[in-house]
Structure 1
Amino acid sequence: MSQIFLSSKEEYSSSLLMMTPDGLKLIIFMVPPGNLSYIMHSPPEPDNTSSEGAESKVMDIGAVGLTVCQGAGRVIGIELIDQAVEDAQCNAMLNGIVNCEFLKGKAEIVLPELLPLLEDARSLVAVVNPSRAGLHYRVMRAIRNCEQIRRLVYISCKPEGEAMRNFIELCCLPDQQKKLFGDPFTPTLAVPVDMFPHTSHCELVLLFER
């Protein structure tokens, strides 16, 4: 997915208030014209020959977490950039949402440390929205080995690319060499979303269950 640089800093003076079909209000902080080239172009493809290059670097303003929070007791979002966390917190306040929290850091570092703290949860739902490089192997391992995660929503901007490796590892039998010990997932639903009209590109939202 293309990274969109959103900021709540003073130098980004203009903003856009958007309302989703379900009534969720989102403030999108706009950048000055000189930075439009960064928004309109995708970042360079990472080096997929190294597992360390498959880091999740998707920029968000809390839209995914805030959308699903109404049906959840607690939502925890992980964002890589400080400004993304600030914008997500701002949007949570704008909508009066109190059961969402956002943590800053790389998912491959934060998630393995976070999941053991949620062992008392009977059932967890994970929602991931990685870059073209797919999920980092540490994230894959943490999700697969966490028994409490029974459902996984995977938002893929390039399902025919590195994401396919993730799909295989989610659904394969336990693999000691890859340290994948949990029960395999099964894909139960796939919904294409045309976010780029008049192009051949299409996002794909998949639901995995076990």
Structure 2
Amino acid sequence: MKLSTNKIKIMKPGSPFIFICFRNQEDREAAIKALDGYKWKGKELSAFEAKPAPDPLVRRRKEASTTEGEPINIKRRTVEASSTSLAYLPYDQQLKQKQSEMENVLQKFGKELWSSIPTLRSYVEKQRQEHGGLPCALEPIRPSPIQDGYRNKCEFSIGKDAQGVKRVGFRVGSYSNGFLEVETIAHLKHIPNCMKQTVALFEEFVQRSPFEVYSAETYQGYYRQMTVRMSHATGQVMVIVGVHLQSLSEDEQKTMKAAIIECLASAAGKRAGICSIYFEVIQKRQQGQYTNPMEHLYGDTHIEDKILGLTFRISPGAFFQINTLAAELLYQCAIDVAAPDKNSSILDICCGTGTIGLCFARHCKQVFGVDIVEQAIKDAEYNAQRNSVENCKFFAGNSDDLIVSLLRQANVIPEQQESLIAIVDPPRAGLHIRSITQLRNARGLNKLVYVSCSPQSAVKNWIDLMRPCSKQLRGEPFIARKAIAVDLFPHTPHTELVILFEREAETNPTPIAEQAIANV
């Protein structure tokens, strides 16, 4: 029907309603006209404009009007709780709690295996007996080498606190929960001093600026957010100022940009390490647009950091693990469990700027990386050249579409003792089932290392790797061998988890998962 939809939300099973979202009123009215009264599967559709949900900010203010206001020290505790909820615990207690949480995740994994794959029940029981109730071995958590001031990237909100004072810091909650207030970050443990200095400098700037801070309530104002990136190796600081231009003239924009440069490139800015300034135009993104327009205002276009002796270029939007020193532990764990040799080819899925793949390069024959972000691939190629690494190739595109072609590029010949190892480091939501299917069906791929920043969300991927053969999953199932937790996020509940999956070489493929297990 060629409707210009933005989002379609299906309600719970059995509901007669669906919600369809549009980017503008004209598209919505055209869709209502086309759908209302339309005959579909013997039924007549009814289409009408949905009533908006109650504004959470208005609801919260109504509730607050019937009670006394909260003391300001409660707001302070709230911003701590929302960003560093474990900071009240000694670090050894934080590690114990995180190890216990990873045990819970693996127990959930085992229960899902038991209920969804009956042919694996005897195997799961055996693993539980050998590993304290877990479906695979779990090694002790690896602590972060640095607990305070470890973050190399933070996104700070620009707004007002409960007293109406302009602030650069963190929200005490989300708009959906009825919160707009921005509070100071000066007391937070995980933010390095150079970032705190940068935030304080820019906060003074916005407080005296003629341009108002942005309000999510009225959609008015200009300064909305500031992203700060820093290098532990060099001390370099990159600042990205996010602004709503509203209807500013060209001259007003030039005035604003000049003032930002004057503030951040000042002597105080240099003392904080600021060497790179970007101007980000925040706007409603069009379909297919993943990033906002960005303009380089001052200094270096990139900063550099080091991991395992390699130097990496970091562009404004590049993914880079936020705890550089702990990332070295994470990547070394991945290398150790993968155990590559000079006959191994590495398939680096969601490779980003090439950090994991380049760290593997010295231990293997060749590396093939893929990522959907084109700028990340450009950075990966630069990083390979910067470090004189010649056995890595990187490709921009969706891993769902490129895995098969990468397998052809690898051209692994098992008869010559060559092996293929996949390293998977996906976003929080995990891999799409198409990528899992292609990895399962890849001949010669008998070892897979899954690095997860959100283990609770990755369980479905792990289950799919171990499902019995089917028309879709033709390759033999993998087996979870070993898990290692690495603490990249001290003072927070988040943990990275590395899991090694293996399967026997497919000399005589069998359709039954239990037969594959019997040979392990």
TM-score by length of 2: 0.32
Q: What is the correspondence of 1:44-193 to structure 2 with a 5 Å cutoff?
A: 60-122=352-414, 123-161=419-457, 163-176=458-471, 179-193=472-486
Structure 2: distance between partners of 1:63 and 1:208: 21
Deviation of residue 98 (structure 1)?
A: 0.3
Deviation of residue 92 (structure 1)?
A: 0.6
Which AA in structure 2 matches 1:15?
H
SS at match of 2:406: helix
1:18 aligns with 2:310: no
Structure 2 regions of 5+ residues with no counterpart? Answer: 1-152, 156-226, 230-293, 323-348, 504-520
* Aligned residues of 2:303 and 2:315 also touching (Cα < 8 A): yes
Structure 2: distance between partners of 1:26 and 1:131: 20
* Aligned residues of 1:119 and 1:148 also touching (Cα < 8 A): no
Deviation of residue 200 (structure 1)?
A: 0.6
Q: What is the correspondence of 1:194-205 to structure 2 with a 5 Å cutoff?
A: 194-205=487-498
* Aligned residues of 1:18 and 1:25 also touching (Cα < 8 A): yes
Deviation of residue 118 (structure 1)?
A: 4.0
Deviation of residue 116 (structure 1)?
A: 4.1
Structure 2: distance between partners of 1:90 and 1:10: 21
Partner of 2:313: 27
Deviation of residue 120 (structure 1)?
A: 4.1
Structure 1 regions of 5+ residues with no counterpart? Answer: 32-38, 40-56
* Aligned residues of 1:112 and 1:138 also touching (Cα < 8 A): no
The percentage of aligned residue pairs carrying the same residue is 37
Which AA in structure 2 matches 1:129?
D
* Aligned residues of 2:488 and 2:496 also touching (Cα < 8 A): yes
* Aligned residues of 2:350 and 2:399 also touching (Cα < 8 A): no
Which AA in structure 2 matches 1:195?
L
SS at match of 1:195: coil
TM-score by length of 1: 0.76
- Residues 32-76 of structure 1 show CA distances to partners (whole Å, capped at 9, x for unaligned) of xxxxxxx9xxxxxxxxxxxxxxxxx95721101101111111100
Deviation of residue 147 (structure 1)?
A: 2.1
Instruction: Count the aligned residue pairs.
Output: 178
Q: 1:147 to 1:78 in 2, by over 3 A?
A: same
Partner of 2:80: none
Structure 1: distance between partners of 2:313 and 2:410: 31
Q: Which has the higher contact order (CA 8 A, sep 6+)?
A: 1
* Aligned residues of 1:155 and 1:206 also touching (Cα < 8 A): yes
Q: What is the correspondence of 1:29-44 to structure 2 with a 5 Å cutoff?
A: 29-30=315-316
* Aligned residues of 1:59 and 1:80 also touching (Cα < 8 A): no
Q: 1:151 to 1:138 in 2, by over 3 A?
A: same
* Aligned residues of 1:59 and 1:81 also touching (Cα < 8 A): no
Structure 2: distance between partners of 1:58 and 1:183: 23
Structure with larger Rg: 2
Q: Provide the alpha-carbon RMSD of the alignment.
A: 2.7
Partner of 1:42: none
Structure 2: distance between partners of 1:141 and 1:95: 34
* Aligned residues of 1:27 and 1:91 also touching (Cα < 8 A): yes
* Runs of 4+ residues deviating >2 angstroms: 9-17, 112-122
